[in-house]
Amino acid sequence: MKAVIGLGNPGLKYSYTKHNIGFRLLDTLVNKGKYSYRDDFRGKVAEGRINDTRIFFLKPYTFMNLSGLAVKELVSYYKIPEQNILVIHDDMDLPLGKLRLRAKGSAGGHNGLKSIISELGTQDFWRLKIGVGRPQEGCDVINHVLSPFNKEEERILAEVMDKAYQAVNLWLEDKANEAMNKFN
């Protein structure tokens, strides 16, 4: 079994913000896979299969800073090992349009990751970081991540989301090294 977690905040006002990029990619994966969400594990969860592997797609509705609560419920219930968990999230340390797939690492200041690390008691899970860039001079971090993408950023985002979709599918097929070589 594997779990793919997209991080974000529930509610329409957050839908197109930089912080919800994980939700957006998860929705693409679920829609293209023709899976359906159901309410469970403090969020929305969909289930699918690739070959003999059962896959869970989770959008925690606990808000970003408590994402670990939902993740822990899902992975504890199904006994999914941490090396079979992929968390998709925004990353301000990467420029817009850049991806980074990693097998483990620190939270790097990301509150959603901090929550997951705290709840799981490990940093040894996969993450796909999608760059949203740093805030402009005079804009604070919270306003930056909770603001929507402008038209030019959405154009760049469309390209990176296609690459991110491909990277997740390679990871699901146990081709993480290929994904890292191609998209990092």
Q: Which CATH number characterizes residue 154's domain?
A: 3.40.50.1470
Within 10 A of 173 (CB to CB), how many other CB atoms are there?
A: 13
Mean pLDDT computed over every residue of the chain: 95
Question: Is pTM beyond 0.85 here?
Answer: yes
* Nearest of 51, 26, 55 to residue 165 by alpha carbon: 26
Active site residue 19: yes
What average pLDDT does the segment 133-147 reach?
87
The pLDDT of residue 139: 80
Instruction: Count CA atoms within 13 Å of residue 137 on its CB side.
Output: 0
The answer to whether residue 9 scores a pLDDT higher than 90 is yes
The pLDDT of residue 167: 98
pLDDT 10s digits, 55-98 = 999 999 999 999 999 999 999 999 999 999 999 999 999 999 89
Q: From CA 103, how far away is CA 125, in angstroms rounded?
A: 6
Catalytic residue among 19, 89, 110, 144: 19
**What is the residue range of 83's domain?**
2-183
Q: Please give the tally of structural domains in the chain.
A: 1
